[in-house]
Structure formats: structure tokens, C-alpha cells
Structure 1
């Protein structure tokens, strides 16, 4: 099979024959296309022989699914950034709990032994819960599926979110963005959170309803929200600097750096995981992280 990458790759990652400086003919003949969603979108219509798309990114919400023929199998790189993102989530939890980088003096919250609710049971959610053990947290996970239930003290369906939100001291959103998760953390769900609740988002910005979060934080100064991901503006860019949440003193943020932005070690490891999945596809072995297209495209 002909494997084409939209990105230049380090030589040590070329453990299979990969063309990373493709001509138009290479794209036309490609069986497998690997790269970042934004670059894949630019060339997808040139690929006439495609059988597989593999992203380097964990999330695939930026893929132009309507351009992809229905027979093409799509795979994300979910879990490849789980450790750095989970570390970052705990950095945000601690920053919010202790009032780090806020100009006024805030009451410090204790997190040892508290109830941690992880929304999303994939790689990131699993590692967030695992790290929580160091703080002796009681780990509750709600998700459609779980990578490893052993790190949780209790698990349940995500449809039961409302009853668990009321009991959580810390809520960490690790969800991908799709039709089912957009705006799932809204005012109606979160308005009943406990006093001094800390909410963290390291999934995708739009899984949290921005207006609802602004209303909640405005009404409840005891609640703190920390995020690494933002909402898209009219041009499709994350509104890092223009979100109205910056007006509030119970809002904390970093700028989509949880995946160890700029860290070559993490990036090479993530690319290696993606390429390994391509190998599995070519050799007929069991593949990982196949995307359900129905989660991203509404039925006409």
C-alpha cells in the first residue's frame, strides 16, 4: 500500500515506506493518508484511491467529514497525548484550588481526599483518575466507554451526569467534540454543583457551553473554572483572548498547550503511535481508535 504523509517526518519514524513530500500523483494513488486534520482537509479531494485516514491529533472534529468517501476508514490518535494532558489537567486543578496567577487573594481549596468526577473514560480520563490517587481522591467516571475501569472507584453512563455532578468537588472534562458532546456541560447540568467546586476542561472547548459557564461563574463566585481549550470564533479560531470569561476572577486558563505544545519528545511519540496503527491496518492486525462517522455527521 502507498502511505502518504502531509507532514515531513523524522527519519527514525519511517519504519514503513512513507512518502512525506508527495506529488499530485502520489496523492492520487495513496491508499493511506496520515497527518494533521487541517492539512488532510487540503488534499483529501485529490486522493482517489484512499482506504484509510490516520490523524496525528487525538481529536478529529476539525476533519471535513463531508469530503471523505464513506468507504474510507478514519482513525484518530486518541490516547497518544494522555499523559501530558492529564498532567496539565492536574496543573489546572491545583492552580484553581490555590488561586495561582490571580491578582487578588482567593481562599485556598483543599483537594486531598475529595471526590473527583472524570467526564470521559478514554486515555486522558484514565490518567487523570490515576494521578488523582496521589491525592487520595474518590474517583468517579462517567463515559460511553472506559479504557481502564480499575482506576475508578465508581463508573456509570454519561447520561447519568446530573446526579454525579452534584456530588463532585472536582469535575474534569476530557471529552472529544462531536454531535453528542457539543455543549454537554451546560448551565442546566452545572447549576447544581457543590460549594467550592472546581471544573476543568482539557477536552474540547465547545463541550462546555460558554454562555452557561459565564452565567454560572457570575452567580457562584465559589465555583472555579480552569480550561486549556476555548471556543471557536466566526473565523474558526479559538477565542483565547476574547472570551468574556476573562472578566471573572474565578476563571483560569492556558492556551491549548496541554498536549505538551512544542515538546518534540511528546510529538515524536504521538506520531510513532499513529504510524504503528497504520502498520496494523496494512498487515491486517487489530487497529485502534476507529472513528464513528455518525458521531460527526448528522443524517440527512
Structure 2
């Protein structure tokens, strides 16, 4: 039995049933409804926020959890490993929309769009608004996978120098240079734009503290669309207020939704967006394409699944 706790449209449900007529699908409208079937599930398809140790203990027949989002930091990875349950995700399907988000938001800061929009509301014809160009700048991208690579490819259209940070430090297409995470403080002072897309792991949690923000250029723009726990929020706020760097664009936070009384909302040099960098009208279609490819592997008893999560590393 394949149980969907992820609610998908009738169109997608019918397409899966047509493509896999031998499979018994149970499509649920919510994780609460899916709990009725977990004891019979061999495959569990989820957005990821409902899988805990209790669910795994109930799902005695479970062999594979297919997460149709990319982040798996909230999964009980150790428990999955102990039970021999495979976990896959859909990393890579976010690269187009998230790279577009990054370039859009960096341009928004450099072209001073917030001021221009506010002036328009006030019918203020002010040609003194200061604007800049991103062309030819140095962009530092934390995470050189699909999203980071696509962001670097788009940056090349603006003739930027692209520098990557990754766990391995291996050279990757579209990056002029790549360094290991341990070299972060060495390369931060040279970057005009810093974009983070790295996942949440023990190594990346609070990777950015006041020390890292203070190492940036006073003119630098920092954008985080990876995970909210990458940085210490109080340190970022202090660094912005003390003008250690110029502007922060934040799409992810340790607490979401961001509380209405959070000081980030009031800071002129912080742009807040509500965790929307990964949204796309093509999202579910792309996610289910990966799931369908893996389901064929599952049916054939093979082992070459796509996007298998390393349960020790957490990505």
C-alpha cells in the first residue's frame, strides 16, 4: 500500500493510478487522515512535517518514505536508519524558482526597488534615489548543488565572479572557485553578494554569527534562502544596526511564521519574505515525476533510486 499524506490534486492522483495500475494508492487530504493507514503502508509519501518516531513505530511494513520536499532536517533520521527504511527527497526541483528568487531579490536591493515602490504610492517623482548595478560583482554562494549551481549560472549572465562554498570544496560547473566551509571567513571579505542555499545540519547550524557578518564588506548584501538556523538572528540584527554590512534578504527563519513583533520587520535594511523562494506552479508536477521514477525502481526490486538521503549526513 502506498499512502499519501501529502494532499495532491485529482489530476495528479488519476495520473499516478493510470501509470501504476498494479499499485494500491491511498490518497489522503491531510496527515491526520493518513494516520489511519500507516500500519499497512509500505510506501509513505509526505511533505515531511508529519513523520516522527511514533509514526515509524506504527508503520511496521514501511520500506520507503518519499518526501516530496527537499528539507529532511525534521525527520527522525537515526530511527529510519535503525529500521532500515529508505528516505528520498526531491532536491533539485527548486533550482529554477530559487535561482530566479535570488537574482530578483539582489536586483531589488541594488536597484532600490523598495524606495521606488513607496515613492510611487506617494506619487513622489524623486530622481535622487540611489541605484547600483550587480554586473561584474563577486557573488559567494554557500551550497554548490542544483540550486547553488543554477544561481551561479544566472549570475554569469551578469558577468559576476562566482565563488562557491561546499563541504567538499570540489570544483563545480559555473563556479570560478570553490572552497571548503572551513575557508568561509577567508573569502567573505571579498564578496559583494552572499547567497546561502545550504541545508540544515549539525555543521551548518549557526554557521553565521556576528564574526561572519563583521567580516563582510560594509556594502555587502546577504541573502538566506536555505535554512533559518544558518544564522544567529540576534547577531544579524546587531550587525545590520551597526552597519557591518549593507542589507539582508531573509526568506527562512528559525520560527515561522515570523512573529509580527519581530524586529526584522522594522529594519529598513532587512527584506523579509515568507518562505516563498521555492514556490512554483510546476512544483508538484516536478516532485511527482521524481516519485514516479523511483516507484518504477521500487516495483522492479532494483536499487538505483534517485535522491536517496544519506541518513548520517542528513541530506
Query: What TM-score do the two structures reach when normalised by structure 2?
Result: 0.82
SS class of match (2:71)? coil
2:31 aligned partner? none
1:93 aligned partner? 106
After superposition, what is the alpha-carbon deviation per residue over 1:11-42, rounded to whole angstroms, capped at 9, x for unaligned? 22443335133777742232221111123348
2:124 aligned partner? none
Comparing 167-176 and 179-188, the one that deviates more: 179-188
2:96 aligned partner? 83
- The structure with more radius of gyration: 2
Q: Distance in 2 between matches of 1:148 and 1:78?
A: 20
Provide closer, same or farther for how the CA distance between residues 59 and 24 of structure 1 changes in structure 2, counting only shifts above 3 A. Answer: closer
Provide closer, same or farther for how the CA distance between residues 240 and 185 of structure 1 changes in structure 2, counting only shifts above 3 A. Answer: same
Task: Trace 1:160-199 onto structure 2 (pairs within 5 A).
Answer: 160-199=183-222
Provide closer, same or farther for how the CA distance between residues 163 and 73 of structure 1 changes in structure 2, counting only shifts above 3 A. Answer: same
Q: Distance in 2 between matches of 1:131 and 1:162?
A: 25
- For the 8 Å contact 2:63–2:85, the answer to whether it is kept is yes
Provide closer, same or farther for how the CA distance between residues 240 and 149 of structure 1 changes in structure 2, counting only shifts above 3 A. Answer: farther
Structure 1 regions of 5+ residues with no counterpart?
none
2:304 aligned partner? 286
Matched, 1:20 2:32: no
Q: Shift in Å at residue 247 of structure 1? A: 2.6
Task: Trace 1:1-300 onto structure 2 (pairs within 5 A).
Answer: 2-9=1-8, 10=12, 11-14=14-17, 15-16=19-20, 17=23, 19-21=25-27, 26-41=37-52, 43-65=55-77, 68=80, 70=82, 71-102=84-115, 107-145=130-168, 149-220=172-243, 223-232=246-255, 237-239=256-258, 241-260=260-279, 263-283=280-300, 284-295=302-313
Provide closer, same or farther for how the CA distance between residues 130 and 241 of structure 1 changes in structure 2, counting only shifts above 3 A. Answer: farther
Q: Shift in Å at residue 275 of structure 1? A: 3.3
- For the 8 Å contact 2:3–2:37, the answer to whether it is kept is yes
SS class of match (1:121)? coil
Q: Distance in 2 between matches of 1:98 and 1:18?
A: 53
SS class of match (1:166)? helix
Provide closer, same or farther for how the CA distance between residues 180 and 106 of structure 1 changes in structure 2, counting only shifts above 3 A. Answer: farther
Structure 2 regions of 5+ residues with no counterpart?
29-33, 120-127
| Cα RMSD (Å) | 2.6
After superposition, what is the alpha-carbon deviation per residue over 1:188-222, rounded to whole angstroms, capped at 9, x for unaligned? 12211113101111101111221111111011175
Q: Distance in 2 between matches of 1:114 and 1:24?
A: 51
- For the 8 Å contact 2:169–2:179, the answer to whether it is kept is no
Q: Would you say how many aligned residue pairs link Structure 1 and Structure 2? A: 289
Q: Distance in 2 between matches of 1:148 and 1:18?
A: 44
